[in-house]
Structure 1
């Protein structure tokens, strides 16, 4: 039996924390991307825009000889590009905490494919919240400091959820690491 303990939602993301009660303390944290109904319309409009753009480019390159072949190639190239981009879009990322074993990080894509990484509990030194500053933006990231690794391991590789969604996951990770760290955040 699963029980949702906490849910936070904003314009871009939805955070759901559920804990499996049946036989163990598996602690699961999900961050979903909120997709609007307009995203399908946006994909169609971008496909049409790409077809027009590629058709015009091919027409200028190859001349007026065979417009049907140019249009066919432009549809094929634009469709391939849209399919490629849709397969790379992320629908959710999850953190599954198994206190005795470790942490499993999952990334789910809209194509149905998912990638998971397992990090054993003995390898995790400390979870850290890091402020990332780029020339364009500033955002928070949750990372793991691992034993024997020189770089931090990102918990969310694709998504950038806000701080209020990262804090409960950070607290849960701190509680299983038993690092003596004060987990009281205001």
Structure 2
């Protein structure tokens, strides 16, 4: 059964363009909020371009260089504000495991040379515990039943499809850097991300 939520929206003018910012609040904690940017003029009933992204504060705010999360968000915003569509932003860092778990995992990378996948295993945490039921509710509320999803993660595709959203994948190409290469290699080899376009070695 769909969860209850509160909804509010306002006009948004950004460096990328103009649209409407929606917030869907599913509970009292900050991570229970989902943000949605709807680009002005988008036909949401006609297979819009969509990006679903979960927070990565280290990269998106503090610009850490060991992942491509900032670049994925930046590229998605550029494409969607040109073409029209939606950005759905989940306030759940650490692939849904939380900031404390994320930083503990990064610390294991420093001390024991574990990648993000193996660090989560060591900590006894699911490697990707994100759930996309709320995202599907947000998309349905906006009138989206079919979308072209900017993603390299098959779990996002399956997560939305399992909740009734028809998905066509659109590849999100971000070149690897020296610092992000180990993280991207882990995504491809241990988490099944579709990163064949990258030269990961």
Q: Normalising TM by the smaller chain, what interval?
A: under 0.3
After TM superposition, the score normalised by the length of structure 2 is: 0.26
Structure exhibiting the larger radius of gyration computed from Cα positions: 1
After TM superposition, the score normalised by the length of structure 1 is: 0.28
Structure in which a larger fraction of residues adopt strand: 1
